[in-house]
Structure 1
Amino acid sequence: SKGAPLLPTVTADASFTRNLFPETTIYPPPYGGSWYNEKKAFLNLGYELDLWGKNHAALAQAVSQQKAAEAAAQETRLVLASSIASTYNQLATEYALHDIAQRTVNQRESLQRITADRVKTGLDTQIERNQSQGSSAEARAQLVQSEGQITLTRQQLGVLIGKGPDRGLQIAAPRMATLITPELPAQLPLNLLGRRPDIVAARWQVEAATRDIDVAKARFYPDINLSAMIGFDSLLNSNPFTASSKSIAFGPAISLPIFEGGALRANLKGSYASYDMAVASYNQTLNEAYGDVARQITGIRSIDRQLPIRREALASSQRAYDLARERYRIGLTSQLVVLNAETALLGQQQALINLEASKRNQQIGLFKALGGGFDAQQAGLAIVTTAAPSSPAATKAR
């Protein structure tokens, strides 16, 4: 237990020893030169007076390290949850692209039928028919490739949720239209960063390093221990548990470091160095958190400005494709014009889907950057402090 040094210790000892006392030392006859059975039974009590707070600081250090480990575990859970959400978003994107691929196959097959009719009427030749058949086969190949990628993503999602790749094959197909993407609020308070488990973990590491300094300082002062012993010790009686065999001892013990070759001072300097490293790590984690949030917000704002433009471009490409297809049907344009219009339309459709998926990924990243659903207060990991740590404070403490 981490708090064991703060509590008294109680031990019980019992022994039976067969002794032969020498005749030439302090044991006079008839004891010297004879065998005796020594029987002992003692109850020992010990307690260290923690006058300088060393044990209390060591306990606080251990608790801080435990809290840091718990916060680090929460960070791992947050990373895993974000990975699952991102993979699910990827799966929804792949299904949307698969729908485009399926529509492309349908369009190419319809174009192939139109080409066959034009060949019969003499408007096209076998060259256009072969081109149409080739483009239709290419669309079907891309559709099969899309289905394979969906299967791989499903298996990856099953592994992430810890149920094995086969579990991912049982997940219902997500649709981008059903995934809610709420808009950003006008302002995001930066105090939300305090909910990030990695920042909480770094802060607890600073707290642990601070307590380690207290422990190192307390080692310069004397240790005072109280001890007591009560029991029975007998050589002569067969029954040791008698009043005449009773033994009692008690008293204080003081230990003061006088010369230790600079070990205590070196240990204190090492504790200060560890504190500076913990503070630097905390500051770096905090700065990276600021940058992470800024990147996600900037990306989301940029995509919000791009989306209306992409939708306008998609609508124009759709009109151009519909017009080219109709003109081709009535013999006013070539098949190449239709395929070029279709290629532009597909590019715009895919670009819009990828842009929406990218925005959702940015939102997932922002959710993670702000700590997700982690609540340090609810998890019992909140630190009551008046100010954030800084390395100048550490230097001043020396």
Structure 2
Amino acid sequence: MTACRTAADHLRLALGLGCGLFFGSCAWIPQGDAPAEYLEPPEIHETLSEVTSRLQQWPEDRWWEQFGSPELNELITGALKDNPGLKQASARLRQAQSLVKVEGARLLPFLEADASLTYERISQHGVFAALNQEVAGIKIMYGIINPLSFRYEFDFWGKNRAMLEAALGHAAAEEAERAEVRLRLTTGIARAYFRGQALQQQLNVVKAMVGIRRDLKKLAETRFQLGLDNDQPVKIAVADYEAAFKRQAAIRDQLDVQRHLLARLAGKGPDEAAHLFAKPQVTVPRQIPAPDHLSMGLLVHRPDLAAALYRAHAASRLVKVAKTQFYPTIDLTGFVGFNALTLAKGTDKLANFLFSGQSFAYGLAPGLRMPWFEGGRLRGELGAQRAEYDAAVELYNDTLLDAMREVADSLSAWQTTGEMMASHKRLLASLGEDWRLAKVRLVNGLDDDREVLLHRHPVLEQEYALRALESDQLVAAVDLIESLGGGYNNPDIEKRPTQKPS
């Protein structure tokens, strides 16, 4: 009776020590500083109140079609197929999706088969021969066939699940970043196209201005030859003509730069864009969708914000992975198969031995590994993951503030360029009236050709400026569309991020 009580006491003591060893490592996890907090989206009611024309919706996915330019549509369609940067983003997404499968496999048992055949001579001076003199120097054959071997790690602490969730977060971030690359690509093409189109129209205006300066130079030379004027007007006319000609060359160079940029963005060579802007046709949209409650909707509609949020979520899961390293690891391995050993001179019997019922073998091996002392490695890894999480959250906060600034800037630019366009058109109409009166005076013999040409030149100058203003307004429209996400929509994201590292 006493012996039984003593054995029970020993068993309870062993269980107590085992439990203490099993869970004792949990107390080693350092507390750490408070994790970073997600920034609440700031409101921009006053900024929105300044916009006089607004629709209650977000941009469409194929937003560029609202500009009514077949040439622009063709450029963007080709770029979405051939741009190397977009292809790289797609490759990174495929890589991240493949890593999700790798991490997901950790939650399942590993099943495999193995077989081996060993020929060996036992050393006469080895340890095994020293303990077993009768086998010294003999030659043996050893065969193993295990049609089923398995390994499985019990995920008691959620480490493997957290690694899978982190991989899913990285894959979702790559998908959002691909959408961001697509958005930057399409808006970059639209900006370059609108600037190139404006330069093409300005080039046509400057060619007309060069023609006026050429005509004025000829008139000045004629009057000098007739003795009506001295050579001073000729010098002035020549200088004006050369300045206009130089201006024409500079615009042509800028136009070539925009063509080359468009070809590069489309994934083509420079020659592919040589004939762009032959028939420029673009509709300036009267309204750009800019919905209310922008601060609440940007997370769902901005791919860069979504990517930053997914990165932060993945970092929070990696913090949990780092914490689980402080806990014991429990796994189970096993095998089912056949093994047999025979002398080398009886190798013809090995097959018979190996596949006989008496050679059947199996094994089961539970394992426990518990970290006692790692030299500060686990604490260092946990501290690094916590810092990475804080950095990811602050990157999200920084991206959010930049997004709000971009929306405010683009709304202001859209409103301002529209007002400037209206004012400039009134100015151009006034100068056009002066030119019309000059032509009437020419017909009535009150003025000569010089007055008509001189009144025509300011009109062309303002037409030149008008082309730049139209380009600025189109670019402002693209900026606003880009700041609103360009049609990106991710309904799986919560409007207010709340996840923290466990």
Q: Quickly name the TM-score band, shorter chain normalised.
A: 0.7 to 0.9
2:350 aligned residue? 238
1:10 aligned residue? 111
> Relative to 1, partners in 2 of residues 1:35 and 1:113: Cα closer, same or farther, differing over 3 Å?
closer
> Relative to 1, partners in 2 of residues 1:318 and 1:118: Cα closer, same or farther, differing over 3 Å?
farther
Tell me the CA shift for residue 358 of structure 1. Answer: 0.7
CA distance in 1, matches of 2:272, 2:260: 7
Secondary structure of the 1:231 match is: strand
Alignment of 1:266-281 (within 5 A): 266-281=380-395
2:166 aligned partner, one-letter code: Q
Does residue 446 of structure 2 align to residue 320 of structure 1? Answer: no
Which gives a bigger RCO, structure 1 or 2 (Cα 8 Å, sep 6+)?
2
> Relative to 1, partners in 2 of residues 1:25 and 1:121: Cα closer, same or farther, differing over 3 Å?
closer
Which string of whole-angstrom CA distances, capped at 9 and with x for unpartnered residues, describes residues 329-382 of structure 1?
A: 8465895x77765554343222222122111111111111111133335xxxx4
Tell me the CA shift for residue 280 of structure 1. Answer: 0.3
1:238 aligned partner, one-letter code: L
Aligned with residue 368 of structure 1, among 477, 482, 485: 482
Which string of whole-angstrom CA distances, capped at 9 and with x for unpartnered residues, describes residues 280-338 of structure 1?
A: 00010011000001000011111222222211111222233444566578465895x77
Secondary structure of the 2:337 match is: strand
2:497 aligned residue? 388
2:312 aligned residue? 206
| Conserved 8 A contact 2:180-2:304 | yes
CA distance in 2, matches of 1:282, 1:114: 66
CA RMSD, Structure 1 to Structure 2 (Å): 3.1
Does residue 200 of structure 2 align to residue 95 of structure 1? Answer: yes
1:80 aligned residue? 185
2:29 aligned residue? none
CA distance in 2, matches of 1:151, 1:20: 82
CA distance in 1, matches of 2:129, 2:217: 121
> Relative to 1, partners in 2 of residues 1:184 and 1:233: Cα closer, same or farther, differing over 3 Å?
closer
Does residue 273 of structure 2 align to residue 168 of structure 1? Answer: yes
1:3 aligned partner, one-letter code: G
Tell me the CA shift for residue 21 of structure 1. Answer: 5.4
1:54 aligned residue? 159
2:333 aligned residue? 227
| Conserved 8 A contact 2:200-2:277 | no
2:145 aligned residue? 41
- Provide the aligned length of Structure 1 versus Structure 2: 385
> Relative to 1, partners in 2 of residues 1:49 and 1:189: Cα closer, same or farther, differing over 3 Å?
same
| Conserved 8 A contact 2:209-2:457 | no
CA distance in 2, matches of 1:66, 1:168: 36
Aligned with residue 171 of structure 2, among 66, 73, 76: 66
> Relative to 1, partners in 2 of residues 1:131 and 1:14: Cα closer, same or farther, differing over 3 Å?
same
1:146 aligned residue? 251
Tell me the CA shift for residue 137 of structure 1. Answer: 5.3
- Residues 307-316 or 103-112, more deviating: 103-112
Tell me the CA shift for residue 277 of structure 1. Answer: 0.8
- Residues 289-298 or 181-190, more deviating: 181-190
- Residues 319-328 or 11-20, more deviating: 319-328
| Conserved 8 A contact 1:13-1:41 | yes
1:215 aligned residue? 321
1:250 aligned residue? 364
Tell me the CA shift for residue 33 of structure 1. Answer: 3.7
CA distance in 1, matches of 2:481, 2:230: 57
2:15 aligned residue? none
Does residue 264 of structure 2 align to residue 159 of structure 1? Answer: yes
Alignment of 1:16-27 (within 5 A): 16-20=118-122, 22=124, 24-27=129-132
Does residue 285 of structure 2 align to residue 181 of structure 1? Answer: yes
| Conserved 8 A contact 1:21-1:35 | no
| Conserved 8 A contact 1:193-1:289 | no
| Conserved 8 A contact 1:193-1:369 | no
> Relative to 1, partners in 2 of residues 1:138 and 1:325: Cα closer, same or farther, differing over 3 Å?
farther
Tell me the CA shift for residue 256 of structure 1. Answer: 1.8
CA distance in 2, matches of 1:321, 1:116: 24
| Structure 1: gaps of 5 or more residues | none
1:261 aligned residue? 375
| Conserved 8 A contact 1:61-1:207 | yes
> Relative to 1, partners in 2 of residues 1:323 and 1:254: Cα closer, same or farther, differing over 3 Å?
same
2:283 aligned partner, one-letter code: L
Aligned with residue 303 of structure 2, among 188, 197, 202: 197
> Relative to 1, partners in 2 of residues 1:153 and 1:101: Cα closer, same or farther, differing over 3 Å?
same
| Structure 2: gaps of 5 or more residues | 1-101, 343-348
> Relative to 1, partners in 2 of residues 1:162 and 1:215: Cα closer, same or farther, differing over 3 Å?
same
Aligned with residue 464 of structure 2, among 350, 357, 368: 350
- Residues 42-51 or 32-41, more deviating: 32-41
CA distance in 1, matches of 2:372, 2:157: 17
Tell me the CA shift for residue 114 of structure 1. Answer: 6.1
Tell me the CA shift for residue 186 of structure 1. Answer: 6.8
Does residue 418 of structure 2 align to residue 301 of structure 1? Answer: no
> Relative to 1, partners in 2 of residues 1:216 and 1:118: Cα closer, same or farther, differing over 3 Å?
same
